[in-house]
Amino acid sequence: MKKFAVALLASTSLCTTVMAADDAIQVGFVTTLTTGAAVIGNDMRDAVNLALDHMDNTMGGKPVEVLFEDDGFKPATGKQATDKLIKEDDVDIVAGYIWSHVLMASYRSVLKADKVIISANAGPSAIAGKLCDPNFFSTSWQNDQTPMALGELLNARGVKSLYLMAPNYAAGKDMVAGVERTFKGDIMGKDLTKWGADAQLDFSAELAKAKASGAEGIAVFYPGKAGGAFIKQYQQAGLADVMPLFTMFTVDALSLPKLQEANMTGILGSEMSMFWSPEMDNPANQKFVAGFREKYGRYPSFYAAQSYDAMNLIKSAADALDGDFSSTSAVRYELAKANFDSIRGDFEFGNNHMPIQNFYARKVVEDADGNWTTEITKTVFEKHQDTYAATCSM
């Protein structure tokens, strides 16, 4: 017992002696590096590393060090990782966060320490609205924006009746509500399926209902592995010919290679709404996508794009402040300008520090080399701001 206690003490002191170079700018990056969701986290980490390559590991004349932490897909672990970055490593800024619940759990820790937190994915309504904070920034989107764009896209495509499916959790409900807000036709039915640790991946019952509903189209939100599972079953059920599929955050550069591997041709031509697509024609994006494909041999996902932007956003503030991050108010003043070349082209931050940006319709296509990717077909929203900005008192 005593030995154990001694060992415990020894390990304690050992682990706290790791200290970084004084002069570097330290960025903490929290994402998912374990469990199956690590495929998203790895994509984000790869993008961050690419961004570091592109800026020669320097911001505002100082070397940059990024500390990656794993949230294990769990709010409690994510919060602990965030606390560690803030209290022990004393990083200058925290970024990352795929999941709303991990962001919500970690949010307050960062704000209490008066540091800036940048979400490279999660965009829950609470943080966009009532709980908005000057120290929070997003390089992604607010949850409702993408589905609202999808509703508008459905109107433009002349879809009169729709079947909706999403997982039964906060973001899933946001997506459904977002589509309903802008879609003008009839909702023939909707299903919120079981999510969480034992998430439902077999959608046979729901697909049978959708088919029986006679809707003209089906719109779904299934992030991660559920997305691939849904699309396979959609095709296996023979719905591809009768009920066109519209998606949100379901078909991306992570799922497309696997769908291609499984020969799910039913997905080709299907449309989705998104703020970005890999072929977008602006220099920053061309450099990012070409660099990413060269370094990693695959297309970047939107998660990667958002993470790349997060690093460049931080760099813009560091450059303006000559690498001096000692004043948080100065940092956020510079960040709020969004003065960098974003992969999505020009955008600005709203009062709640969520991007005001364009949303596009993009379609699944085969590129010149035979890889499946996406391509923009139409601009759905220009300079769109989320609806919660009005309830943010900033």
149 to 178, contacts with another protein by CB under 8 A? 168-171, 173
- Name the residue nearer to another protein (CB basis): 146 or 316: 146
1 touches another protein (CB under 8 A):
yes
Site residues (CB under 8 A) for another protein, limited to 227-256: 228-229, 232-233, 236-238, 254
Site residues (CB under 8 A) for another protein, limited to 7-26: 8-9, 11-12, 15-16
198 touches another protein (CB under 8 A):
yes
Distance separating alpha carbons of residues 324 and 347, to the nearest angstrom: 25
CB of 208 to another protein, least distance (A): 4
- Name the residue nearer to another protein (CB basis): 156 or 208: 208
Q: CA 138 → CA 50, 94, 133, 352, distances in Å?
A: 20, 12, 11, 9
- Name the residue nearer to another protein (CB basis): 12 or 56: 12
393 touches another protein (CB under 8 A):
no
Contacting another protein (CB under 8 A), which of 26, 27, 101, 307?
101
- Name the residue nearer to another protein (CB basis): 208 or 390: 208
- State CA 391 to chain mean position distance: 23
Q: SS3 of 289, please?
A: helix
The region of 192-200, 280-288, 339-347, 383-391 touching another protein under the rule CB under 8 A is 192-200
The region of 20-28, 50-58, 193-201, 363-371 touching another protein under the rule CB under 8 A is 193-201
Closest by Cα among 178, 95, 181, 77 to 140 = 95
Contacting another protein (CB under 8 A), which of 66, 245, 259, 313?
259
The count of chain residues that interact with another protein, using the rule CB under 8 A, is 79
- Name the residue nearer to another protein (CB basis): 101 or 384: 101
- Name the residue nearer to another protein (CB basis): 31 or 277: 31
CB of 4 to another protein, least distance (A): 7
CA 358, 100, 26 angle in degrees (round to 5)? 85
Site residues (CB under 8 A) for another protein, limited to 31-90: 33-39, 41-42, 70, 74-76, 79-80, 83-84, 87-88
Site residues (CB under 8 A) for another protein, limited to 199-218: 199-202, 204-206, 208-209, 212
Mask for 109-148, x = binds another protein (CB under 8 A): x--------------x-x---xx-----------------
- Name the residue nearer to another protein (CB basis): 193 or 312: 193
The region of 6-14, 309-317, 324-332, 359-367 touching another protein under the rule CB under 8 A is 6-14
Contacting another protein (CB under 8 A), which of 105, 150, 253, 313?
105
- Name the residue nearer to another protein (CB basis): 62 or 101: 101
CB of 70 to another protein, least distance (A): 6
The region of 4-12, 50-58, 320-328, 369-377 touching another protein under the rule CB under 8 A is 4-12
Q: Which residues contact 182 (CB under 8 A, 6 or more apart)?
A: 147, 148, 149, 150, 151, 152, 155
Dmax (CA) of the chain? 74
Contacting another protein (CB under 8 A), which of 63, 161, 180, 192?
192
